[in-house]
Chains A and B, each alone.
Chain A
Amino acid sequence: MTGIEQFLADKGIYFLTFFLLSLGIYGIITCKNYMKKLIGMNIMQVSAIIFFLSLGQKKGATIPVLLEGLTNSDAYNNPLTHALMLTAIVVSLGTTGVGLALLTRIKEKFGSVEEEEIIRRQDKL
């Protein structure tokens, strides 16, 4: 394999996850629409999940369900990261749910989820 292929095979997913992380933060900072900010937040959380899952991969290994006669520990993917990420997914689900509920209220009160509109109407209330 050439250098770039080697890099992509070994570290490519790290690059992608950090790209997703930066993308999410960029979205949160620059978007003026609260809904889009929430989407950016979700992208960011997904990046953390992919990061952990890519840490758990082994070359040529199968899913972490025990097969008969196969006891070699290199033959199974790392079960710990999978279990951790199941928890992290639920946490991100809860955060998104609360965020959406807040947005529902904000939309009702201020009539908009655009940041400028909200700041303008905040002073009238």
Chain B
Amino acid sequence: MMRKVIGILLIVLGLGYVFVSFDFLPAIGDSSAPAHKHVSDYYIENALKDTNSPNLVTAVLADYRGFDTLLETTVMFSAGVCVVMILGSKSPLRKRYLVPKEILKGKPYGGIPAYKTVNKDVMTTLIEILILLYAIYVLLHGEVGPGGGFQAGALIALAYIVNVMVAPDIKPLFKFTKINAVAAAGIGVFIYAFTGLLTMFAGGAFLEYGKLPFPIPENDLHPVGIMMIETGVAIGVMATIITILIAIIERVRFDDDRN
């Protein structure tokens, strides 16, 4: 009861305060607000010249504020490691508290699936290949120019998830054990950090792509650098999602498990 009162008080006070004084924030859509005039304008006007990327969000995310994205990948990786560590010790099946649903008692495999006439194994393989192709397209050409490593990683992981969840019996296109998956996530982060270290050894600042030690014109170095880090992001994200999937599957007993 006390908690409810505190909660309601909080919500009323917060909203009341906010109602009376929104004057300190600029109106939405006002293009002369300070938020649009200082840093953001510089990005819009100079992104093409500085980073050679027509997609401004990619330019900001991967180049101007590339260090934030390294940390973003690190957050993903650390979430993966944390989940593995927390779900690490496996308790015996009987001790787990998940009880099969009442309906499924006496029907060990959950009944005959309606889609039995469709050969789902073949379909799965087809869909997987399509998903992988799309992932590569997103990685190389996500909204004009390279970028979209995160989405590409999620798509590759999706192909794996489809395989594991829909057709666990057929041979998958690629397979991970738990430690391999976590290690791959770490390697993805390291590829990103290594790109930065490379520019550092070549005499620039961390993640200053213009100083990458490759024999190509300097204008092209920025897309190359963005491509390298996005590959790292893709590997990291893919491996993290697969890690979490494996860690959960190991533990949870589904209602139609066979034993």
Contacts and interface: CB of A to CB of B under 8 A. Distances in A.
Q: Do the two chains bind?
A: yes
Interface of A: 9-15, 18-19, 21-23, 25-26, 29-30, 54-59, 61, 64-66, 71, 73-74, 76, 78-84, 86-87, 90-91, 93-95, 97-98, 101-102, 104-105, 107-108, 111
A56 to B, nearest CB: 7
A101 B43 contact: no
Interface of B: 3-4, 6-8, 10-11, 14-15, 18-19, 22, 25, 27-31, 35-36, 39-41, 43-45, 47-48, 54-57, 59-61, 65, 68-69, 71-72, 75-76, 78-79, 82-83, 86-87, 91, 95-97, 143-144, 150, 244, 247-248, 251-252
Given A11-B27, A66-B56, A101-B86, A79 B43 contact: yes
Contact of A57 (B28, B69, B71): B28
Contact of A108 (B25, B60, B97): B97
Contacts of A22: 10-11, 14-15
A113 to B, nearest CB: 10
A61 B25 CA distance: 20
Given A94-B75, A104-B251, A108-B97, A64 B57 contact: yes
A6 to B, nearest CB: 9
A83 B18 CA distance: 27
A82 B43 CA distance: 13
17 contacts: A15-B18, A19-B15, A22-B11, A22-B14, A25-B7, A54-B28, A61-B31, A64-B57, A79-B59, A80-B40, A86-B150, A98-B83, A98-B86, A104-B87, A104-B252, A108-B91, A111-B97
Contact of B3 (A29, A66, A83, A101): A29
Given A10-B27, A86-B72, A97-B244, A26 B8 contact: yes
Contacts of B47: 66, 79
